[in-house]
Structure 1
């Protein structure tokens, strides 16, 4: 056998192996999606602009705590344990934005204003007691701005959990800004989602403990639905950030800014010490600036937490929201006979 035929045989074997792996991946993904269709949603659905939006409502009494998730495929699951705890004190609602988990994509554009309108209609249809305490993490904190701007009369308070700042370019060097805003690799994730790799990559996005067993089962199972929604939101991030930056004030609506303080939380993302130091300082300054959104704001620093305070120190979030609930109720006039 000459060298030409040997190379030709190796190439044929190699591509045959790749084709087999891809075929197995497609079959695995098809089987996984069929299995996921049998999962019963844990909440309810509301018809919002000809689109079914999934939400989880727990607890009773007002004000209603409303959770807005980050740019992530977890949807309402990001708040699952926090919602369980807070539902003992008030009505709570978490939901999946259009195209995430059990929510249909619909036809509305992915703009901050449109997302706020959809959430407002969802809350109306769910009969959630007004007013609302809006709680958002990361990108969810930016999205809250649109709701407050459009429906201030329905807002009792705002809790921003390590929220993104829409004008982060002002706080970062050009090099760091480019790295921070490069986003998810769209082409690779679409490929991975087609061939079953994505659900394997994201199967342990929550901690591998009994507390997160449900979330770790549901999120990967429905990832094929969520992936497209997340990537679409990422593509609209620049326009969302610009529009959010135009909303400068919440007036005197109570605002709690809950911020992570672990200075090592960026070590795995940046190799250079200079960049790690820069992002820590910039993030601290951005969090402080968020306080200027309201003339009635407070800063809660959560020790030992990364950006994902919802996983690292959920008690810090629960404590802040409970304080806002009690603060609101203390200000309400007494009713009934004396």
Structure 2
């Protein structure tokens, strides 16, 4: 196992959990605590702006899963149970008591669903940011279904200087402009480092098995759910897909998110016209914090 390279960012610290050193940053007081679960290839520090806003009214935790960000390397991909076991152990090590409001972004949304299936008494509410969901393919045209684009068959590209430069250009194109300069620089350097550049692909190659885990995982607890979606097309997305495909994907996702929230007595879908799938927590940290605040207000009123 390789050591953690590049040291720590200017915020947060390491905590030993199940044989891995995990990077965490905790702020605020009170409960229920809000816990952010990043998307594939994302890092806890990407959610700093929303975290800081949430910490004004409750405890907030951002962290890097093993093998991502500033946490210690781990074999990837991992199962939903491995990730949720690690999160549960981390929260216990931090002495952050349940229940939690879990904020899951993209792949992180699948982790929050599995946590809720396994530990229903420890989840007070779910805030989903463009979540990965087992019904995704039901709302997509054939060519855009996950089953038709199996990442397990993907050959990882070579980490070259040209690839790193392309990635750096995407991160420098504006999505992180709202961050303080020092944090922005640390994020870009880590995202485009040789050991982290392809983490998003490595984490997501087993997406089909993750969705199978959720389908077989049992019922979800009856807790409030807010889904935030982004209907804008970001420049970072057009590197990999055509605008036509992206528009169809967004339309299908909107139908999915409406169905997800309609299926629960306490569900709400909020679409954001000025954010994309990737940039919601960066450019609309206010919307993320407002949704968390609304969930907490409802919980505290009961």
TM bracket, shorter-chain basis? 0.7 to 0.9
**1:280-304 CA distances to partner (integer Å, 9 max, x unpaired)?**
3311111122225633212222233
Query: SS where residue 145 of structure 2 aligns?
Result: helix
Paired residue for 2:98?
Answer: 130
Structure-1 separation of matches of 2:130 and 2:76: 28
Aligned CA-pair RMSD: 3.1
What TM-score, normalized by structure 1, do the two folds share?
A: 0.76
Q: What are the ranges of 5 or more consecutive residues in structure 1 without an aligned counterpart? A: 1-33, 332-338
How does 1:216-295 map onto structure 2 within 5 Å?
A: 216-222=184-190, 223-227=193-197, 229-247=199-217, 249-262=219-232, 268=238, 271=242, 273=244, 275=245, 278-291=248-261, 294-295=264-265
Alignment partner of 1:175 out of 143, 146, 149: 143
Deviates more, 1:61-70 or 1:289-298: 289-298
- Following TM superposition, by how much is the alpha carbon of 1:93 offset from its aligned partner in structure 2, in angstroms? 0.4
Paired residue for 1:28?
Answer: none
- Following TM superposition, by how much is the alpha carbon of 1:60 offset from its aligned partner in structure 2, in angstroms? 0.9
- Following TM superposition, by how much is the alpha carbon of 1:56 offset from its aligned partner in structure 2, in angstroms? 0.8
Runs (4 or more) in structure 1 with deviation over 6 Å come to: none
How does 1:1-338 map onto structure 2 within 5 Å?
A: 37-40=6-9, 42-72=11-41, 74-106=42-74, 110-177=78-145, 181=149, 186-188=155-157, 190-192=158-160, 196-203=161-168, 205=171, 207=175, 209=177, 211-222=179-190, 223-227=193-197, 229-247=199-217, 249-262=219-232, 268=238, 271=242, 273=244, 275=245, 278-291=248-261, 294-307=264-277, 308-331=279-302
**1:226-282 CA distances to partner (integer Å, 9 max, x unpaired)?**
2454332122222112212334642321111122234x5699465475x45532331
Q: 1:131 to 1:38 in 2, by over 3 A?
A: closer
Deviates more, 1:207-216 or 1:86-95: 207-216
Query: SS where residue 159 of structure 2 aligns?
Result: helix
Q: 1:181 to 1:78 in 2, by over 3 A?
A: farther
Structure with the higher fraction of residues in helix conformation: 1
Instruction: Number of aligned residue pairs: give it.
Output: 292
Q: What are the ranges of 5 or more consecutive residues in structure 2 without an aligned counterpart? A: none
Query: SS where residue 153 of structure 1 aligns?
Result: helix
Q: 1:126 to 1:108 in 2, by over 3 A?
A: farther
Q: Which has the higher contact order (CA 8 A, sep 6+)?
A: 2
Q: 1:109 to 1:282 in 2, by over 3 A?
A: closer
The higher radius of gyration belongs to 1
Cα pair 1:101 1:225 within 8 Å, conserved: no
**1:102-156 CA distances to partner (integer Å, 9 max, x unpaired)?**
2113469600111011001000101113221000111111111111111111111
